[in-house]
């Protein structure tokens, strides 16, 4: 950590710590860090607070990022006139894949023919326990997923599942679900991500069911009970499930 004596007049102490964290993690990992990795090394309480400091540092010219590209943050420490990628030994920072023309968020795999494509999908947090699903929260990072699986849909995001309420649908604790925002009411049988005030404050993955005027969030586990969902807010529909084996 820096001390106040180390910080030039246009930087705060926390901003100096953020720059050092970005630089240190870049060297250790061989690539620019995700925001959550930086958050673990500085004295801030949330990703939102870190995002605010990122904007301040960008305005002062100490960090730069490529819009719409994950893990591209670079830090210029006080007294330095260029960013690391502009130095002669910039090869220690592996080049990122370049987006394909006309496909925002889509990337051709390095060394490929251009036919193998991935979409960088933001990780929004955990569902059913832990981090709430709050629109506008900065992503915890990004994962590359095959475009053939997730498509090119705008606004999709990833959530890590905890709990066993959906095992009957093949969704287990530790799985990742890809979620597409909903712009209309769900249909019966859709697996949805929802929050229900007073019942599931952190959000939950359940099957949507409407019977008459009554709406339910149905678990796919006989040990769990349905959740009344007349006042539920739906963050999206699950379109894919990922599992590490």
CATH of the domain at 36: 1.10.10.10
Q: Which member of 173, 206, 210, 231 is catalytic?
A: 206
pLDDT at 47: 81
Judge whether 127 and 162 are in contact, CB under 8 Å.
yes
- 182 with 122, same domain: the answer is yes
Euclidean distance between CA atoms 150 and 135, whole angstroms: 20
Q: Is residue 84 part of a domain?
A: yes
* CA-to-CA dists, residue 85 to 3, 72, 179, angstroms: 27, 11, 34
84 and 110 housed in the same domain: no
Q: In terms of domains, do 127 and 212 share one?
A: yes
Q: Domain check: are 203 and 160 in the same one?
A: yes
Sign of CA dihedral 117, 184, 134, 214: negative
Q: Which residues of the chain have pLDDT under 70?
A: 1-9, 68-70, 87-116, 125-141, 152-154, 197-202, 245
Q: Which residues lie below 8 Å from residue 11, measured CB to CB, with a gap of 6+? A: 19, 60, 62, 78
The pLDDT value given to residue 8: 62
Q: How many Å apart are CA 228 and CA 215, to the nearest integer?
A: 6
Instruction: For strands 117-127 and 157-161, give the pairing.
Output: parallel
Per-residue pLDDT, 214: 93
Instruction: Flag whether 99 is in a domain.
Output: no
Active site (annotated) includes residue 165 = yes
- pLDDT at position 195: 81
Q: How many domains is the chain partitioned into structurally?
A: 2
Report the distance separating Cα 20 and Cα 155, nearest Å. 32
Is 206 designated active site? yes
Question: Which residue range is the domain that position 58 belongs to?
Answer: 4-88
Residues 129 and 237 in one domain: yes
Same domain membership, residue 116 and residue 41: no
- pLDDT for the residue numbered 57: 93
Return the CATH number at 166: 2.10.109.10
On whether both 84 and 131 belong to a single domain, the answer is: no
Of 50, 49, 2, 51, the C-alpha closest to 24 is: 2
- The whole-number pLDDT of residue 161 equals 85
Please provide residue 103's backbone torsions phi and psi, each rounded to the nearest 5 degrees. Answer: -130, 80
Shared domain check, 223 and 111: yes
- What is the per-residue pLDDT for 115? 46
Q: Are 191 and 179 in contact (CB under 8 A)?
A: no
Q: What is the pTM of this model?
A: 0.52
CB 75 within 8 A of CB 63: yes
Q: Write down which residue in 44, 60, 88 finishes a domain.
A: 88
Tell me: do 75 and 132 sit in the same domain.
no
Helical packing angle, 47-60 and 13-29, nearest 10°: 100
């Amino acid at each position: 950590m820096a001390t106040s004596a180390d910080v030039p007049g246009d930087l705060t102490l926390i901003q100096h710590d953020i720059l050092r964290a970005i630089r240190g993690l870049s060297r250790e990992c061989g690539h620019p860090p995700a925001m959550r990795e930086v958050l673990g090394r500085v004295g801030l309480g949330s990703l939102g607070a870190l995002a605010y400091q990122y904007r301040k540092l960008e305005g002062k010219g100490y960090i730069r990022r490529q819009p719409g590209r994950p893990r591209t943050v670079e830090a210029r420490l006080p007294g330095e006139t260029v960013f690391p990628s502009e130095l002669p030994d910039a090869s220690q920072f592996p080049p990122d894949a370049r987006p394909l023309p006309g496909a925002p968020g889509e990337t051709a795999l390095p060394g490929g023919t251009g036919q193998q494509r991935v979409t960088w999908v933001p990780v929004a947090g955990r569902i059913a326990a832990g981090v709430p699903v709050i629109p506008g929260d900065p992503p915890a990072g990004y994962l590359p997923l095959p475009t053939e699986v997730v498509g090119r849909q705008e606004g999709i995001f990833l959530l890590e599942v905890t709990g066993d309420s959906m095992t009957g649908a093949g969704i287990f604790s530790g799985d990742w679900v890809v979620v597409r925002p909903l712009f209309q009411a769900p249909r019966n049988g859709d697996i949805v991500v929802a929050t229900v005030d007073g019942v599931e404050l952190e959000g939950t993955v359940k099957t949507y069911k409407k019977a008459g005027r009554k709406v339910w969030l149905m678990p796919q586990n006989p040990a769990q009970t349905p959740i009344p969902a007349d006042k539920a807010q739906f963050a999206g529909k699950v379109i894919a499930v990922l599992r590490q084996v």
